[in-house]
Structures are given as structure tokens and as C-alpha cells.
Amino acid sequence: MSLTKRNINMIYLYVFIAQLAFDRALWVIYLSDSGLSMGQIGIIEAIMHLSVVLFEVPTGMISDLYGRKVSILLGNVTMLGYSGFMLYSDSLSLFGLAFMSLGLGMTFRSGAEEALAYDTLKQENREKDYTRIFGNMTALSLLSLSMAKLLGGWMADISWEWVYGSMIAVHVITFIPIALLKEPEREQPKQKHMKFMEQWRNQFKQGFFIWKENPTIHMPIILFLAATTTIVILTFYGQEYFTRLGFSSLMIGVIFTVDGLLGVAMAKLAHRLEQKWEFFNVVNYGYGLYILFFVLFIVSPEWGIVVAFLILSQLITLFEPIFSNFIQNLLSSDVRSTFFSMISLVESFVIMIGFPLFGYMIGTIGFQNGFFILLIVLLVIYSLSFMNRFKNKQL
């Protein structure tokens, strides 16, 4: 077996095991059962996103400067810490520390997994396979997460110790595929000889240089961020929205499980779409479809809302591997994780601001009006995209 094939298989195994987050659909219930108010739970959620904003770029730099495997390993250690803190915490401060660990673990993994897969393929000149490989990674992740949601609900009925004890066991097992990963050959950062702070400043400069020198990526990134942040908001608040529409907890669980399973198929289809459609056509038509189904999500009857939500989620899952491949092709290995971390940083910052704002809106003007305001934001960004394209054609 070639090193590339072995590495990709280990990445698949790692992704599948690492995504067994048994509390993904339950942590709000767990915190509430632990005595926290919804306001306190909101604070903890904000702490998690704040930690992502603070650590996203520095951890991406660690991946570029010291290796993807190091970053993934540190991410698994901090996720192990999250599970332990959640199991033994009994106060707001300790739960806050748990969610800070969660945010930190997410940032260590963010960009490193994709960069490792891309660099592995690149050493055998197989970059063209990246979208298919990334789609497989996404499919395995969604399949694992769907299983985890079902198993987590079953374990929670027995004991919360089962949920978080199992997560601790999962992260211990995850060290096995991580240990078997091999760091592929890649361009070594030119700043290795520099002092520590000089290295990090240089990574920032390179990231901003890439943004400045590649104006064609500006609108795709902005459109991608607009779509991904709104779907995160819909997913998070969707549980409460579906409850108010009269769906039972069981049906809501089924909806989100179906969402994950459909995502498996969409992720597998991404590379086929990429082969048939030019990237910017995928961006423009895909975003247009996203807005169309966002409108249907607002105005449809109950089951139409569910169908629209599922389609919105699948559009993001379908587009993400294609978007990642397009950006990866523009980057050198020594800044790959850093640049994707900068994208994730902006996304986390928008979510950190958008979550409480949307929560305030639905508390004052209701869900429907809140969704309508999100739609206006999406339309404004789409209009700016068309204006930008028209301007570029005139130049």
C-alpha cells in the first residue's frame, strides 16, 4: 500500500472516530439539567465562539509551521479535555472552561485535516482527487455524527455519565489513527529560522497578501461565509422553531438525523458537480438556489419548512468540498492552514455576533421577522456580488 493511500485511509478513520460527538444534539439539555439557565447557556456558547475567534489563526499557524499532525494531535487532547470537563463540571465557570476547550480543539483541527489530505495527494500529483477525497471525509463525518446523535440520545436516557464517558473513550481511541498518520513532504516555511513572534507575524502577512493578490476569491469567500453562518443560525435555533411549530422531540431528532444522512450523499456527489460545472457558476447558481429555498423556508407551511431546511443544509454540504478545493489550489503548503483558519476566524466572529443578535430579534419581533431580516442580508450580499462581477467585466 502506498504512503498516500495509507495516509488517506488513516485520515478517513480519524475523521469517522473523532466525529462521534454523542452530545451534539444534547448539550443544551445537559446544561439545563445541570442547573444552568438559558441565559447562562448563552454565555457559555459565546465563550466557545470567543475562544475560536482568539485561537483560530494562531492554531492554524501552528499547523503550517510545526506540522498538520501536531495540530491534529493537540486538537484531540483538548477535545478529550472538553469531555472530561463536561463530565465533572458543576458550575458556570467550569462549564465555561469546558466550552473554551471545545473551541480550542476545533481551531486546532480546523484547516489541518484538509491541509494534510491535500498535501498527501500533492506529493503524488493527485491534487485533482482532492474534492472527491474531501467529499468522502465530509460524508464519513456526517455519517458518524448521525450515528452519534442516535446513540447519544439512547445513552442519555440511561445516564449522562455514559454520554461523556463514551466521548472520553472515543478521543483516547482517536490517538491510534493519529499516531499512524505520516506528515507528507511539503514546502517548508521560509521563516523557520526567524524568532517565534516574527514567524507568526509573517504568517499573518502572507495570509493578507494572498487575500490582496487574489481579488477573484473575495466574493466566493464572502458568499460562502454568508451561507454557512445563516445555516448555522437556522440549525441552532431550528430546534426551538420546530418545537413552536408543533413537532415533537422525536420528530425533531428524526429531521436532524435525516439532514446528516442526506449530507453523506451530497458530499459524495460534490466532485461530480465540480467536473461538470465551472466554479463561479456553481457559486452564483448555488447561492441563488440558497436564497430561493430560504424564501420557501420563511413562507411555506410546516412540512414545506422542513423540506426547505433540509435542502438549504444540503446545498452547503454540496458546495463546501468544491469551495475548499478552489481555495486550496491557490495556496502553498506553508500558509494553507493559516489562510483557512483566517476564513474560519471571520466565520466564528460573525456567528459570535449573529447568535445573540438573532436571539434578541426572535425575542422581540419573532422568528418570521428574524428570518426575513436574514434574507435581506443574503440578498444585499448577492447584489454586491453581481455589482462586483459587472465592475470587473468593465475593467
Under 8 Å CB-to-CB from 213, ≥6 apart: which residues? none
Q: How wide is the angle at C-alpha 231 spanned by C-alphas 228 and 232, nearest 5°?
A: 85
pLDDT at 52: 82
Q: What is the pLDDT of residues 52-64, one digit of tens each?
A: 878 877 777 787 7
Q: In terms of pLDDT, which residue wins out, 356 or 35?
A: 35
Q: What is the set of domains in the chain, with CATH numbers?
A: 3-180+196-394 (1.20.1250.20)
User: What is residue 56's three-state secondary structure?
Assistant: helix
Q: In terms of pLDDT, which residue wins out, 172 or 194?
A: 172
Cell digits of residue 59: 492554531
Predicted confidence band of residue 395 (pLDDT cuts 50, 70, 90): very low
Looking at residues 111-124, what average pLDDT do you find? 84
Compute the distance between CA of residue 262 and CA of residue 267 in angstroms, rounded to an integer.
Answer: 9
Q: In terms of pLDDT, which residue wins out, 336 or 139?
A: 139
Q: Judge whether 280 and 272 are in contact, CB under 8 Å.
A: no
Q: In terms of pLDDT, which residue wins out, 142 or 104?
A: 104
pLDDT at 376: 94
Least confident of 179-188, 197-206, 210-219, 282-291: 197-206
Q: What is the pLDDT of residues 244-279, one digit of tens each?
A: 888 776 677 678 778 888 888 888 788 788 888 888
Compute the distance between CA of residue 387 and CA of residue 373 in angstroms, rounded to an integer.
Answer: 21
Predicted confidence band of residue 172 (pLDDT cuts 50, 70, 90): very high
Across 3-7, 185-189, 196-200, which has the greatest mean pLDDT? Answer: 3-7
pLDDT at 391: 63
Least confident of 210-219, 304-313, 316-325: 210-219
Q: What distances in angstroms separate CA 238 from CA 70, 148, 155, 312, one per listed residue?
A: 36, 19, 23, 13
pLDDT at 168: 96
pLDDT at 195 over 70: no
- Name the average pLDDT for the chain: 83
* Short-list 151, 184, 146, CA closest to 165: 151
